[in-house]
Structure 1
Amino acid sequence: MLHYCAVAFDTPTSVAANMLSQQLVAWPCPPNGYVCLNVDGSLLGSPQSAGFGGLIRNSFGSFLGGFYGVAAQASILYAEIMAMLHGLELCWDKGFKHVICLSDSLQTVTLVKNGTSPHHKFANEVFSIRQLLDRDWNVVINHTLREGNACADMLAKMGANTISPLVKLVEPPSELSPHLSADAWGVAFIRK
């Protein structure tokens, strides 16, 4: 529909340029035998409060578990790292042996994949994640675009608005249902 509106009101040259600058982004469904762990951090309000959250889904997009909580430090990087740490711990506790972990924080993904100096502010947390990755399981850590991480973003915002250090979810919160359905159906969002 967006395409047809653009065609109706733009010149042919501007339509082509606009379409070239757009990218469709959807939640990437994991292959059979894998679960997808989406994690995110959020920094909200004044005074600022940081939260984290995430969820585990199977290849059909079904909710297998989730979590959210308030971060001990008002830092977006800390919240993103804690989201990955708690998410991987939850996957391990639930017995998932093949996990694709997606974060929209490229900095967090890079720190976890490459390691960090022992003098880094969050070296202990990154080291804890790397220790988890060394266990007997197959975990792939990748970056995803923000538009494909909407469910984790919503849980991270819930974390920033709570006082609980960690809330584990067996069922998804009702406000997450439309986003879960959109992801399961492969609805894509336009990224400019």
Structure 2
Amino acid sequence: MHDDGGSPFAAEAMTLREGLQLAWNKGYRKVSVGIDYEELVSLANDSNGDIIRVHPQASIIRDIKLLLGLDWRVELSWIPCDANAAAHWLAKQGAHSSLPGLQLVTNVAPELEWLIFKDALIVP
């Protein structure tokens, strides 16, 4: 995603929003998401709207909360950054892509497959 609002938080939040929307649209009703941005996990799971109202990315966080409020089960949890190497690899690929917006990976590159395996070994 190229339009990241200029911050890593905004990029992470927009990616979460798009991923949740995609999962909902594809019919998934039980989803587990590991995020290495602790502030985003806290804000998405927080029921205190006052904090969100003043956040620079308030509209994206509200969108995430609306998606979380749909009739499904979504578990958002913080994971260590070193357990999210596959996501970082994908982000770098997307940053260098000339294609706009969210890109779906249909053929997993061998290096990505290895990172997914390594990440799975780290996440409890």
Same fold (TM over 0.5): yes
Query: Are residue 153 (structure 1) and residue 88 (structure 2) matched?
Result: yes
CA distance in 2, matches of 1:120, 1:172: 36
Offset at residue 183 of structure 1 (A): 4.2
Contact kept, 8 Å, 2:20 with 2:67, in 1: the verdict is yes
Residues 39-61 of structure 1: CA distance to partner in whole angstroms, max 9, x if unpaired?
xxxxxxxxxxxxxxxxxxxxxxx
Number of aligned positions between the proteins: 119
Structure 2 gaps, min length 5: none
Find the structure with the greater CA-based Rg. Answer: 1
- Structure 2 partner of 1:53: none
Give deviations 1:2-42, integer Å, cap 9, x for gaps: xxxxxxxxxxxxxxxxxxxxxxxxxxxxxxxxxxxxxxxxx
Alignment correspondent of 1:98: 30
Matched, 1:143 2:78: yes
Change (3 A) 1:76 1:183: closer
Q: In the alignment, which of 162, 168, 176 is matched to residue 112 of structure 2?
A: 176
Mapped contact 2:35–2:77 kept (Cα < 8 A): yes
Q: Within 5 Å, give how 1:51-62 maps onto structure 2.
A: none
Residue 120 in structure 1 maps to residue 55 in structure 2? yes
1:130 aligns with 2:68: no
Instruction: Write the deviation string for residues 133-192 of structure 1: whole angstroms up to 9, x where unpaired.
Output: 1111000111000111111111111122224222122232343122133345x3x49xxx
Give the strand-richer structure, 1 or 2: 1
What amino acid sits opposite 2:5 in the alignment? Q
Q: Which runs of 5+ in 1 are unaligned?
A: 1-68
TM-score, structure 1 as length reference:
0.56
> CA RMSD for the aligned pairs?
2.0
